[in-house]
Chain A
Amino acid sequence: EVQLLESGGGLVQPGGSLRLSCAASGFAFSDHVMHWVRQVPGEGPVWVSRINHDGTDTQYADSARGRFTISRDDAKNTVYLQMNSLRVEDTALYYCVRDSDYRIDYWGQGTLVTVSS
């Protein structure tokens, strides 16, 4: 069974940092592109970042570029999202998702990030 378990969310002040983690299991992790997607309750999801199967290629939404860094450790079956210079508008539920040939087929349960003073 495919499982994606996010952690690391919490309450942080504007300008602060958080590191999200996503532990994957139940599939060949190193074979898959992985993404982070965020969602404000009541709104549609928004794509944040992508990392290819071996970590050599990354992409970011404009809102994340320069502040967020995606990485992966295939030995630990884990993908990370380092978030710096956090803003109030970064407040959302952050999902780790699996990519299978240009479709997102599995989502984790999400980890809540709240940026507030």
Chain B
Amino acid sequence: QSALTQPASVSGSPGQSITISCTGTSSDVGGFHYVSWYQQHPGKAPKLMIYGVSDRPSGVSNRFSGSKSGNTASLTISGLQAEDEADYFCSSYTRDSTLVFVFGTGTKVTVL
């Protein structure tokens, strides 16, 4: 089972919108509605930003939104702010018999 594929880096200016992709297979991203996105600042624990493809936990800004098409999920950050600079990774439940969750390779978001 390979990791979900994400771009290594994405950048944008304050106020802009950026989108991070997360590509898997029909056995994970494409097969379930259990895609999550996490934000991780250096030296910190990951924080859940999106679950169930597009739902936001209480307290997460509505500037963060999620979607899915086929085997690819996406995280969009609108109105980019300096504090959004962090690593982001996706996760999906998987029907692979040797795994329960599979994670993305991670994307470094830089605010220019």
Count residues of B near A (Cβ-Cβ below 8 Å).
26
Return the contact of B91 from the options A43, A59, A95, A104 (Cβ within 8 A).
Answer: A104
Complex CA gap A19/B36 in Å reads 29
Q: Does B36 contact A44, Cβ atoms closer than 8 Å?
A: no
Return the contact of A104 from the options B3, B98, B101, B105 (Cβ within 8 A).
Answer: B101
Q: Does A46 contact B48, Cβ atoms closer than 8 Å?
A: no
Q: Does A47 contact B101, Cβ atoms closer than 8 Å?
A: yes
A72 at the B interface (CB under 8 A): no
Count residues of A near B (Cβ-Cβ below 8 Å).
21
Chain A: minimal CB distance from B28 (Å): 12
Q: Does A103 contact B51, Cβ atoms closer than 8 Å?
A: yes
Most chain B CB inside 10 Å of its own CB: which residue of A35, A37, A47: A47
**Taking beta carbons and an 8 Å cutoff, which residues of B are in contact with A?**
3-4, 6, 32, 34, 36, 44-48, 51-52, 57, 89, 91, 93, 98-106
Supply 9 A–B pairs (Cβ within 8 Å), ascending by A.
Answer: A44-B4, A44-B6, A45-B89, A45-B91, A46-B3, A103-B51, A104-B36, A105-B57, A107-B47
